[in-house]
Structures are given as structure tokens and as C-alpha cells.
Amino acid sequence: MNGKRHIRKAIALFLGIGLAAGGVSVHAEGKIRVAQQFGISYLIFDVVKEQKLIEKHGAAAGIDINVEWAKLSGVTAMNEALLSGNLDIVSAGVPPTLVLWDRTKGKQDVKAVAALGSLPNYLVTNNPDVRSIKDLSDKDRIATPAAGVGFQSRTLQIETAKLYGKENFARFDKITISLPHPDATAALISGGLDINAHFASAPFYYQSLAGNKDVHKILSSYDVLGGPHTFNLVYTTRKFHDENPKTYKALFAALGEAAEWIRNNKAQAAQVYIRQQQSKLSPELVTKIVEDPENDFTITPQQVKRFGDELHDLDVIKNEAASWKDYFFEEAHVLKGS
């Protein structure tokens, strides 16, 4: 069985495609493969990994859990690996997660496990003539990690629809390009390049604002949603959830414990981030970010239903949720989410 599983895994990775729900069998209880992206918004995962909290909660439930960690950049790679059965737990921004929930409804039934925190994203620019998104023109170039489909692009689309009408929600897609956060940050600080705007998460907008006196904020995602909101979600398939109940519950408990530990140990949490992500940022800057009252490292969903309603209104997702709980597996329903 192990040989066959490895063969299927190799084929799926080689083809780079997502298979049907029953195409790859989920491994036995007691093993979990988790992937995260880069940045301080994944601090909860960093703490879970360093403190071996999944293993801890598994042992309390009488099961030894083998945890494998991976780092991937971009939601497309995450989703392909999840749907092909090569990963069990992945993470991405709220809009991409809800799009996958919509497209797998009644099939793989992808749902969220928990939130990874409420953190804003800032749209910043070094163009002195741009003070709001109304000032953006065809001469500007906005960098995001996943143009048109990622968290930043979808949030910009929601705001654009408010200003220019639903039919024009993609107005700024034509001046948005895909570029990793570190590259976009370097371009904005140095100036003189085509990229003169960046819709960024922490720590990248902190670096841009500090690194170039001409860089200024023109929009916060908190402005778009009318207050704090969840940035990233942890999610998986119905198959993994149902076939690995003890492992899944250990994961959920580990996420909750990590969030509570961060809340009570912010300076130490900053050090965990630096170690786990091998960050070259100064401890002072990382601590500043962790302690910033705008940033709340919580597993409780915030305004996820609002995101879904906005995406449904723009016809980005077809299915409408009656509650935020529709997007989450039942273990999360005890949280006071929205």
C-alpha cells in the first residue's frame, strides 16, 4: 500500500493537477501534512510547529501524530496539492478559500478549519500624485502576489465595485501584476521601476513605509470591510476531516492554544517568528508588528460572512452562505465568529 501511495503521489506532483475527490486515498489516522505561506500572518502556525502542539494534543487523545510541514508560495499551488491528496491542511486568504469552498461544494467539500488572525493589508504607493484609488491611472502598476484572484486583488475589487459600480469591479485588474511581496517591497523602496504601488500584508507594508519617505498608504483592507477582518484561513477537505477525527481535533486544539500563547507572550512570539521563518527582520520591528493593536492573532473568524456576501454579489462565487458557519467545519462553530 505504501508503494502504491507513493506512486500516486509522484504522478499527482508530476502532472500538477487536482484529482477528483476519490482519486487519492487519505492516509491513516495519525499523520498530517500541513502547508503555510510566508509572512508574519502565519505566526500561529509557527508557534504550533515550534512547540509541537499538534503532537501534544494528539498524545493527550491517545494517538501519536506524525506532522509534516511545508512552505508554498501562492494559493494555486496550495489548492492543487490539497485536491490531489498531497497535502492535508493548507492556508490562504479568505477570498481564495471561499472560492474553493464554492467550487468544491458537493464534491471535495473544502471548508475552513479556523482563522489565522485578523490583520489588515495596506495598498501603498510611492507616486505622490496618488492619494486614493480614485487617482490611479493606466500609468500606475499595482503589485500583488496573485493578480486578479488573491486576497489583495479581491479586496480591491470589492472597493472598486463600491466606487464605480458592480459592472466595473475589475477596473484595476489591468494595472495589477503578480509579484511576490519581497520583490514588490524592494521595488517600491528603490523607486524608478514600473511598480509604484503594492497591496501588501505585514511585514511588507511596514518595511515600505519605513524604507522610502515617499511611500504612503492609500487604502487599508479594514477600510474596505468597515473594520477588522480575518486575513488568512486554514482549510481542508471533508474527506480528511471525517476520516481523521482525532488528528483533526488535535490540530484545532493546537491552533487555539497557539493563539492564546501569542496573546500572552508577544515578545517571545516575535522570536518564534524569526526562528521559524529564518527572518532577517530586526527583533524590534517584528515585536512592533506583533504588538500592533491592528493585528490580532486569533483563530476566531471575523467578517468572513461579509467577504462571502461581497464575492457572491460580484458573482465571483455562486453559492450563498446563510451563516459564517457554512464555510467552516463544525469544530469551529463554538467560536464567536462572524
Q: Domain limits at 287?
A: 2-117+231-334
155 & 78 share domain: no
Q: Report the alpha-carbon distance of residue 170 to residue 158 in Å, rounded.
A: 9
Closest CA to 271 of 119, 43, 104: 43
129 & 110 share domain: no
Pairing status of strand 197-200 against strand 232-236: unpaired
161 & 104 share domain: no
57 & 141 share domain: no
104 & 129 share domain: no
Which cell goes with 137? 491611472
Q: Report the alpha-carbon distance of residue 187 to residue 321 in Å, rounded.
A: 40
Q: Report the alpha-carbon distance of residue 106 to residue 129 in Å, rounded.
A: 48
Residue 256 carries which side chain, given as an amino acid letter?
Answer: G
Q: Which residue among 196, 225, 254 closes a domain?
A: 225
57 & 43 share domain: yes
Q: Which residue among 225, 258, 285 closes a domain?
A: 225
Q: What is the CATH number of the domain that holds 286?
A: 3.40.190.10
Q: What is the pTM of this model?
A: 0.88
Between helices 304-313 and 151-164, what is the axis angle to 10°? 60
Ordered per-residue pLDDT tens for the chain, 338 residues: 344 343 334 334 333 433 333 344 445 689 999 999 888 999 999 999 999 999 999 999 999 999 999 988 778 888 999 999 999 999 999 999 999 999 999 999 999 999 999 999 999 999 999 999 999 999 999 999 889 988 999 999 999 999 999 999 999 999 999 998 989 999 999 986 789 999 999 999 999 999 999 999 999 999 999 999 999 999 999 999 999 999 999 999 999 999 999 999 999 999 999 999 999 999 999 999 999 999 999 999 999 999 999 999 999 999 999 999 999 999 999 999 99
φ, ψ (nearest 5 deg) of residue 184: -65, -40
DSSP notation for 268-334: HHHHHHHHHTT--S-HHHHHHHHH-TT-B--SS--SHHHHHHHHHHTTS-SPPPSSGGGGB-GGGGG
